Amino acid sequence: MKVGVLALQGSFFNHCKSLELCDLDYVLIKRLSDLKSINSLIIPGGESTSMKIIEKEENLFFAIDKYIKKGLPTLTTCAGTIILSKKVIDGDISIPNIDISIQRNAYGRQNQSFEGDVKFLDNSDIYCFIRAPKIIELLSSDVKPIAFHNEEIVGVQQQNIIGLTYHPELTNDNFYLNWLKEYLKSGEHVGSF
Ligand code: GLN
């Protein structure tokens, strides 16, 4: 059972730290060949426009898209969620798999990043929003809101994808880590590709 962590750019090391705390094996995904043996995937935050430039070298997004459509359990945070959104305001579409419209840099500039209270499933905790995007609209009834900051939706699930706009890997609270372990382990039954 191995988790792939997309490692083109951004906060991938923090996700690796979460996986170590969960006792889960992982592989950094930098090239097509790294995708071979994974049972689940994390696409981290960072800068979506930079990742989009770097992935072109091997057309990684094209391959990842196929894996996600086959049912690979996938967690995206922040820029990762932008990359999977069907509509992107102030940015480009990459691998559209989540039926949401999302606005990049919706809370302002980098220095307007903040920590805020988030209710994720049955748990509330403080999480970081780092030049975060905002989910503007749900585009189909297949998308279920699962995380809220005040009244705003900051996390959704659509089938095998969980998309969050904040950074749980910087908090690593027990509720998140327990959930993460269960969620990624569900890929055991999907099998590797
Ligand atoms: N502002 C970044 C983008 O638009 C996202 C920031 C993040 O991932 N923390 O890609």
Kindly write down the DSSP assignment for every residue of 3-43, as one continuous string: EEEE-SSSSHHHHHHHHHHTT-EEEEE-SGGGGTT-SEEEE
Domain positions in the chain are: 2-192
Catalytic residue of the set 169, 182, 188, 189: 169
pTM over 0.95: yes
pLDDT recorded at residue 76: 98
pLDDT recorded at residue 118: 98
Residues lining ligand 1, CB < 6 A?
45-48, 78-79, 82, 104-105, 130-131
Catalytic residue flag (residue 78): yes
Catalytic residue flag (residue 128): no
pLDDT recorded at residue 4: 97
Closest ligand 1 atom to the C-alpha of 49? 10
**Cα separation of 184 and 112, whole Å?**
32
pLDDT in tens, 44-73: 999 999 999 999 999 999 999 999 999 999
**Cα separation of 52 and 148, whole Å?**
28
Closest ligand 1 atom to the C-alpha of 167? 9
Identity of residue 113? S
pLDDT category, 75, cuts 50, 70, 90? very high
pLDDT in tens, 7-38: 999 999 999 999 999 999 999 999 999 999 89
pLDDT category, 192, cuts 50, 70, 90? low
For domain 2-192, the CATH superfamily is Class I glutamine amidotransferase (GATase) domain (3.40.50.880)
Catalytic residue flag (residue 189): no
Looking at beta carbons, which pairs linking 108-116 to residues 24 or more positions away fall under 8 Å? Answer: 116/149, 116/150, 116/166
Distance 69 CA to ligand 1 centre (A): 24
Closest ligand 1 atom to the C-alpha of 44? 8
Per-residue pLDDT at 191 exceeds 80: no
